[in-house]
Amino acid sequence: MAAAGAAATDLEVVRGKRAALYFAAVAIVLGLPIWWKTTETYRAPLPYSEISGLNALQLRLMVPITVVFTRESVPLDDQEKLPFTVVHEREIPLKYKMKIKCRFQKAYRRALDHEEEALSRGSVQEAETTLAEPQEQAEGSLTVYVISEHSSLLPQDRMSYIGPKRTAVVRGIMHREAFNIIGRRIIQVAQAMSLTEDVLAAALADHLPEDKWSSDKRRPLKSSLGYEITFSLLNPDPKSHDVYWDIEGAVRRYVRPFLNALSAVGNFSVDSQILYYAVLGVNPRFDPASSSYYLAAHSLPHVINPVESRLGSSAASLYPVLNFLLYVPELAHSPLYIQDKDGAPVATNAFHSPRWGGIMVYNVDPKAYNASELPVKVEVDIVRVMEVFLAQLRLLFGIAQPQVPPKCLFSGPQSEGLMAWELDRLLWARSVENLATATTTLTSLAQLLGKISNIVIKDDVASEVYKAVAAVQKAAEELASGHLASAFVASQEAVTSSERAFFDPSLLHLLYFPDDQKFAIYIPLFLPMAVPILLSLVKIFLETRKSWKKPEKTD
Amino acid sequence: MAAAVPLAVLALLLLGPGGWGYAEPLRDSLREELVITPLPSGDVAATFQFRTRWDSDLLQEEVSHYRLFPKALGQLISKYSLRELHLSLTQGFWRTRYWGPPFLQAPSGAELWVWFQDTVTDVDKSWKELSNILSGIFCASLNFIDSSNTVTPTASFKPLGLANGTDHYFLRYAVLPREVVCTENLTPWKKLLPCSSKAGLSVLLKADRLFHTSYHSQAVHIRPVCRNARCTSVSWELRQTLSVVFDAFVTGQGKKDWSLFRMFSRTLTEPCPLASESRVYVDITSSSQDNETLEVNPPPLTTYQDVILGTRKTYAVYDLLDMAVISSSRNLNIQLKWKRPLENGYIHYQPAQDRLQPHLLEMLIQLPANSVSKVSIQFERALLKWTEYTPDPNHGFYVSPSVISALVPSMVAAKPVDWEESPLFSSLFPVSDSSSYFVRLYTEPLLVSLPTPDFSMPYNVICLTCTVVAVCYGSFYNLLTRTFHIEEPSTGGLAKRLANLIRRARGVPPL
């Protein structure tokens, strides 16, 4: 009876133990994963390795150059070797993580008959118009014509010529090393017309470590899909001056052609406004010697702030705004001049502020005051104003003055105020800048997501990241194969996608959900459930250890 | 914008020839107007209107050049193809019973209604974007307008301007009653005025005075209007209106007299040189009716009579563009005085400041015999900061009792006695006149229960659910893992022993 009872008790004990173990197993195998799965934040997979690969990306910027040799440009035996291709590659030394290599691919060929004929004309401009091919040259490519050493196409003291389109002319030489010498001259001209260190350093100014001249390079606007240009006439004293400006005509005649030439860079919208009673933030000083007022160079930074609140942000778009202000000083403060650092008046009476716009002070002709009573009617000489504003616009877009190689004839820009190869330089710079921005954005996004595990990554954010990575790679490939236009488009796409992913509001959903609140919520459930399981596990463990030790002792 | 670099380089550009003059007449005009109306209750209403008219078709021109019309609003019209836009931001409520009918009433909070052109394809998307942009322009929470508070009325809110068809599909209307209007909304509104707040009537728009009022309503109305009498082409009209009602008791120490300086703490000094019309109208209707009870200074040069809102009104007109109005004293401070005092009494009111100072309202009233006088004060219940709730919030908040101090005429004339000699209970208050005695009465304190949020609700729910789950789980676990023994029947339980004890006592054999 007792033995049977003991056996039944043993059976009960084993069953109890087994039940406790099953509980523990179910809690660990089923409960924990379900809890983990249902409470985890959704994080779509991201191409982390590819993003970190972008940092070590090597950019090869290829400039395809077609070099056309006329009959008497090089010795005859050299002519026999044509056509062939020479590649000139060099690394651009920048303190940047991306390696940038510049590659000039020179395709040498003989001149065709019509080219020979055109290049034998009297002046280089004439030759250029005849050579103007029916189809436009692709963005980023160059054509260099090599003419005979004694050709009268160029003035005798000039060795080369840079045209407003994507063409240049270089003198040839009758020499054994003709190709080498001409090759060096071509590179010199091509560098002036396409990629230089300066252009790339300016484009990457935001990503390069600070140095002493970098503030000057941060002048251009950041790359964007579009730009808004606003011309504002500030008339702080409408009681004395009734100012009229023909801005509609000026925009039509001068600004629009320039922007049309730039249209590959982005969308532009232009508008203008007149603001009354808008004053500058600085009181001008009086100069008794010339009985005029002046604004010193060091006070110019304080001029803009009070005006800015009146300018009004552009309500209708998200593009960066460039402001050009024409300031007609009030009667009490005129004439007003801007002084440079040395105290001399600035010839244009204008200054510009990096990434913001420009201000020009327009003094009313003092003779006007004698003639009539107030208010004086003032007609703005719009040509003078637009010259300054367009020059500032070029600077703010980062179109620097070209560095002409020695002994080079340089044609000025055509009526639109922009040379085709200047546009190319801008596109190179903007593409590289876009790529740098996109990779920086992607890298910091990947870092952020890796560091903070609370961030939700939705599928659409992930797809934007994939799109951005693909666009960066595509842009790099297109740059390497010399397709500038499509590379620029791809780089813009990369920036747009990467920023859309970075600024997606869904990333912030669970960011501020602190850990202590999580514990506060789960402990009332977990504590009563976990304690019995743990206690019985400990008990089982102790008992099994005791039962293992017993047989050892008997031995 | 901090850094500015002088421009040293001037590019010589080949620019085409120029040649122009004043090719066309100015295509936009500005009219400004201020109407001051003394209200029946003794308050003063001031209504500003600034009207900019632009003879241009904003919807067709690609490059837009703005002069008087603000660029920010013009861009909105062309980008979102607006036909009409009406936005009002209001603080307070126009009390028609005391103040009479308003020129233009607006609901408390923010109200926005917009007619889109019939070329707009996705009206709801445009409406959403537009309200977001307006929210940015006017620093108001208009971005909270969404489908849950937007309606499309079909009968009211017809277009106020020129309209060909009225398909209500293109109308959207929303009100945000919660919106609080403050200085930050006034500043962008003032910026839209061509003369900003530097000249003309807009000089008076000083924020700290305009918001120290019982009613403040600012509005923007944009609509297309006829350019000429035959209506051959369209012009755009922007009306900016601002109505305020000044509380005469707070600003005027209980008197109904007012002046521009007392109301706005500014005077008019010069007209806006851009305005083609700039006038101040003062309602002097009661002057002509009630035999000159009020006096306006300086005397108006002209008056204007018309039937406004169903009643005949007389206005004194001051034209700021008329040199004589301002040049006499270099500034214009219109003053209005009531010639005979309207009522005797004294009211002193000191408004409260949150958490610093309570309200104080003192009134000196002569009560007629056998009358009931009732003084009631309306208040709003406010939500406190969560740390300010008392440990027992159900008790409520106390409002201290009111005090009535009165000199009550005595039934019997008491004979004057020496103050030092008389019993103490009769000499508490000094009595100057033996025909009356002094009483001070207190009312009960008032207990106000403020709304109390339940701070712990979510956590309670979690804890309760978890406890229920834990209890179920615990008993279940216990049942399953407990080892059950078969108990050997021993000497017996307590009941058995007790039974045996009793049986033994009875002499019955034990169990």
**Tens digits of per-residue pLDDT, A137-176?**
777 788 888 888 777 777 777 778 887 788 888 888 777 7
Buried b (16+ CB within 10 A) or exposed e, A353-392: bbebbbbbbbbbeeeeeeeeeebbebebebeebbbbbbbb
The pLDDT, as a whole number, for residue B215 is 92
Chain A residue numbers with beta carbons less than 8 Å from the beta carbon of B471 are 528
Question: Taking a C-beta distance cutoff of 8 angstroms, is the pair B192, B186 a contact?
Answer: no
Helix residue ranges, H only, B269-320: 285-289
Instruction: Say if the Cβ atoms of B478 and A248 lie within 8 Å.
Output: no
Tell whether A39 is within 8 A of chain B (Cβ): no
Q: Residue A428: name the closest of A358, A487, A359, A499 by CA.
A: A487
Tell whether B379 is within 8 A of chain A (Cβ): no
pLDDT single digits (tens) B147-171: 888 999 888 888 888 877 778 889 9
Q: How confident is the model at residue B305 (pLDDT cuts 50, 70, 90)?
A: confident
The pLDDT, as a whole number, for residue B148 is 87
Q: Which of A6-10, A99-103, A181-185, B219-223 reaches the highest mean pLDDT? A: B219-223
Question: Taking a C-beta distance cutoff of 8 angstroms, is the pair A353, A304 a contact?
Answer: yes
Amino acid at A206: D
Instruction: Say if the Cβ atoms of B7 and A254 lie within 8 Å.
Output: no
Q: Give the E-state strand segments of B255-359 in sequence order.
A: 258-259, 277-283, 294-297, 302-308, 311-319, 335-338, 346-350
484-503 in A: which are within 8 Å (CB) of B?
A: none
Instruction: Say if the Cβ atoms of B199 and A8 lie within 8 Å.
Output: no
DSSP code, position A412: P
Tell whether B497 is within 8 A of chain A (Cβ): no
Please report, for residues B367, B423, B492, the alpha-carbon distance to residue B407 in angstroms, rounded to integers and kept in the order given. 11, 21, 93
Rounded to an integer, the average pLDDT of A283-290 is 87
Q: Residue B64: name the closest of A555, A168, A314 by CA.
A: A314
Chain A residue numbers with beta carbons less than 8 Å from the beta carbon of B15 are 253-254, 383, 386-387
Tell whether A303 is within 8 A of chain B (Cβ): yes
Q: How much is the pTM? A: 0.76
A407 beta partners:
none
Chain B residue numbers with beta carbons less than 8 Å from the beta carbon of A412 are 12, 14
Please provide the average confidence, as pLDDT, over all residues in chain A. Answer: 82
Residue B86 pLDDT > 90: yes
Q: Give the E-state strand segments of B339-433 in sequence order.
A: 346-350, 360-364, 397-399, 403-409
Q: How confident is the model at residue B62 (pLDDT cuts 50, 70, 90)?
A: low
Instruction: Say if the Cβ atoms of A316 and B133 lie within 8 Å.
Output: yes
How many interface pairs between A and B have CB atoms less than 8 angstroms apart? 207
The pLDDT, as a whole number, for residue B345 is 65
Q: How confident is the model at residue B23 (pLDDT cuts 50, 70, 90)?
A: very low
Q: Smallest CA–CA separation between B71 and chain A, in Å?
A: 7
- Sorted by sequence, the CB contacts under 8 Å of residue B156 that are 6+ apart come out as none
209-238 in A: which are within 8 Å (CB) of B?
A: 215-216, 219, 230, 238
Rounded to an integer, the average pLDDT of A309-331 is 83
The pLDDT, as a whole number, for residue A218 is 63
Tell whether B479 is within 8 A of chain A (Cβ): no
Rounded to an integer, the average pLDDT of A181-197 is 81
DSSP string, B111-166: EEEEEEPTT-S-HHHHHHHHHHHHHHHHTSSGGG--GGGEE--SSS---SS--S--
Q: Which of B21, B65, B488 sits opposite A271 (nearest CB)?
A: B65
Structure tokens at B134: 């307006």
Instruction: Say if the Cβ atoms of A277 and B199 lie within 8 Å.
Output: yes
Chain A residue numbers with beta carbons less than 8 Å from the beta carbon of B480 are 16, 19, 23
Q: Which of B2, B13, B22 sits opposite A390 (nearest CB)?
A: B13
Q: Smallest CA–CA separation between A162 and chain B, in Å?
A: 17
Please provide the average confidence, as pLDDT, over all residues in chain B. Answer: 80
Q: Which of B7, B15, B194 sits opposite A351 (nearest CB)?
A: B7
Q: Which of B64, B66, B195 sits opposite A274 (nearest CB)?
A: B66
Instruction: Say if the Cβ atoms of A301 and B1 lie within 8 Å.
Output: yes
Question: Taking a C-beta distance cutoff of 8 angstroms, is the pair A535, A20 a contact?
Answer: no
Q: Nearest 5°: phi and psi at A13?
A: -60, -45
Please report, for residues B222, B281, B315, the alpha-carbon distance to residue B34 in angstroms, rounded to integers and kept in the order given. 19, 6, 11
Buried b (16+ CB within 10 A) or exposed e, A499-518: bbbbebeebeeeeeeeeeee
The pLDDT, as a whole number, for residue B17 is 39
More confident position, B86 or A369: B86
Tell whether B475 is within 8 A of chain A (Cβ): no
pLDDT single digits (tens) B426-459: 777 766 666 777 888 888 888 887 777 777 777 7
More confident position, A399 or A499: A499
Tell whether B79 is within 8 A of chain A (Cβ): yes
Region of A9 please: left (phi>0), alpha (psi -120 to 50) or beta: alpha
Window from A109-123, A227-241, A519-533, B18-32 with minimum mean pLDDT: B18-32
Tell whether B158 is within 8 A of chain A (Cβ): no
3-class secondary-structure state, position B425: helix
Instruction: Say if the Cβ atoms of B7 and A382 lie within 8 Å.
Output: no
Instruction: Say if the Cβ atoms of A315 and B273 lie within 8 Å.
Output: no
Distance, in Å, from the CA atom of B506 to the CA atom of B502, rounded to the nearest integer, reads: 6
Chain A residue numbers with beta carbons less than 8 Å from the beta carbon of B190 are none
Residue with tokens 């390497």: A480
Q: How confident is the model at residue B135 (pLDDT cuts 50, 70, 90)?
A: very high
DSSP string, B185-198: HHHHHHHTSTTTTT
If you measure CA to CA, which chain B residue comes closest to A402?
B11
Chain B residue numbers with beta carbons less than 8 Å from the beta carbon of A312 are 70-72, 191
Instruction: Say if the Cβ atoms of A9 and B485 lie within 8 Å.
Output: yes
Q: Smallest CA–CA separation between B49 and chain A, in Å?
A: 19
Window from B98-102, B174-178, B348-352 with minimum mean pLDDT: B348-352
Instruction: Say if the Cβ atoms of B71 and A276 lie within 8 Å.
Output: no
Chain B residue numbers with beta carbons less than 8 Å from the beta carbon of A393 are none
What's the ipTM? 0.75
